[in-house]
Amino acid sequence: MKKWFFLTFVIIASCNPKVVSYVNSKANFSQFETYRLVTTKAESKTFTPENTLIFDLIKKSIRMEMDKRDYIVSNVSPDLTLRYEVTASTRFETNSNQVGPYYAPQVNTRTIYESVLLMELYDSKKKLVWQGSYDLRQQKKEKKASKAIEKGVGHIFTSYPYRAKSAKIDEALKTIENKKKDN
Residues 83-134: pLDDT tens digits? 999 887 777 777 767 666 666 666 677 666 678 899 999 999 999 999 999 9
Query: Which of 41, 57, 35, 46 lies closest to 136 in space, CA to CA?
Result: 57
Alpha helix (H) ranges present in the chain?
Answer: 2-13, 40-44, 49-68, 145-157, 176-182
Mean pLDDT of the chain: 80
Count of beta carbons in the 10 Å neighbourhood of residue 17: 11
Whole-model pTM? Answer: 0.74
Q: What is the pLDDT of residues 168-183, one digit of tens each?
A: 999 999 987 544 444 4
Count of beta carbons in the 10 Å neighbourhood of residue 123: 19
